[in-house]
Amino acid sequence: DQQVKQNSPSLSVQEGRISILNCDYTNSMFDYFLWYKKYPAEGPTFLISISSIKDKNEDGRFTVFLNKSAKHLSLHIVPSQPGDSAVYFCAARNSGAGSYQLTFGKGTKLSVIP
Amino acid sequence: SQTIHQWPATLVQPVGSPLSLECTVEGTSNPNLYWYRQAAGRGLQLLFYSVGIGQISSEVPQNLSASRPQDRQFILSSKKLLLSDSGFYLCAWSALLNGGARAEQYFGPGTRLTVT
């Protein structure tokens, strides 16, 4: 059972426009959410995170929104740049489970078109 | 600043051969360490994590094992590789804060393993 879902395997956006990447989760015990960016043949790079006690966190061009009632989070990239083209992974953690595991979605491939 | 190293970058091994992948972290003490695998077309799957020297927890039963002989060294091993062990192996670390691990994990460059 996939607890973290990224239902869009790919997304294409024009340079300068907004990219919106979506993520849904099923485990209500998740209390921390993260977004990672990954280029081919490289390890994921941490982008931004949000605690479940917040509904928004912003860092430069990246903003993460959390809707706990809908069990949904999204990553907004504004403005999108060609260098943002990569696979984006959503991850979640249940701190109360006694495990340090991050549960990852399968990723969304973002292509920013110049 | 903290740096995480993995080697080798790529590896081609025959079925039944042993495996040893190494990960080291610099610039931090007493990190939590993790081994993940990304199979083709799939997300990241946690294999092992370690909260200290000699302390290993396994998340998925398999023919792989992990060891942490030093504070900042994490090793992934197998005595006999299977075809299904092919994938992209990633080591990661996270810092401890107030007795607990921070959620943010930082990944190494990965090892591409192909079992033939």
* pLDDT per position as a tens digit, B25-71: 999 888 999 999 988 777 888 899 998 999 998 877 678 999 999 99
Q: Tokens 């403005």 map to which residue?
A: A79
Q: Tell whether the model's pLDDT for residue B102 goes beyond 80.
A: no
For residue B72, give how far its alpha carbon lies from the nearest alpha carbon of chain A (Å): 17
Task: Share the mean pLDDT of chain B.
Answer: 90
Q: What is the pLDDT of residue B100?
A: 67
Mutate which of B44, B89, B102 to disrupt the A interface (most A C-beta within 10 Å)?
B44
Q: Is the pLDDT of residue B97 over 70?
A: no
pLDDT at B101: 67
Residue that is written with structure tokens 């994990």 in the block? B105
**Whose CA is closest to B91, among B110, B77, B71, B104?**
B110
Positive/negative CA dihedral, B37, B41, B42, B43: positive
Residue B98 has pLDDT above 90, yes or no: no
> How far apart (Å, rounded) are the C-alpha atoms in residues A25 and A68?
9
Taking an 8 Å cut-off on Cβ atoms, the answer to whether A45 and B107 are in contact is: yes
Average pLDDT, chain A: 93
Query: In which band, very low, low, confident or very high, does the pLDDT at A2 lie, cut at 50, 70 and 90?
Result: confident
User: Which of B32, B57, B104 comes nearest A49 by C-beta?
Assistant: B104
Band of the pLDDT at A30, cuts 50, 70, 90?
Answer: very high
- pLDDT of B1 above 90: no
Contact criterion met (CB < 8 Å) for A43 and B112: no
Q: Which two tokens stand for residue B38?
A: 């990304």
Give per-residue burial for A22-59: e unless 16+ CB within 10 Å, then b.
bbbbeeeebbbbbbbbbeeeebbebbbbbebeeeebee
Spatial distance between the Cα atoms of B80 and B83, rounded to a whole number of angstroms: 10
Structure letter (DSSP) for residue B13 = E
State whether residue A53 sits within 8 Å of chain B by CB: no
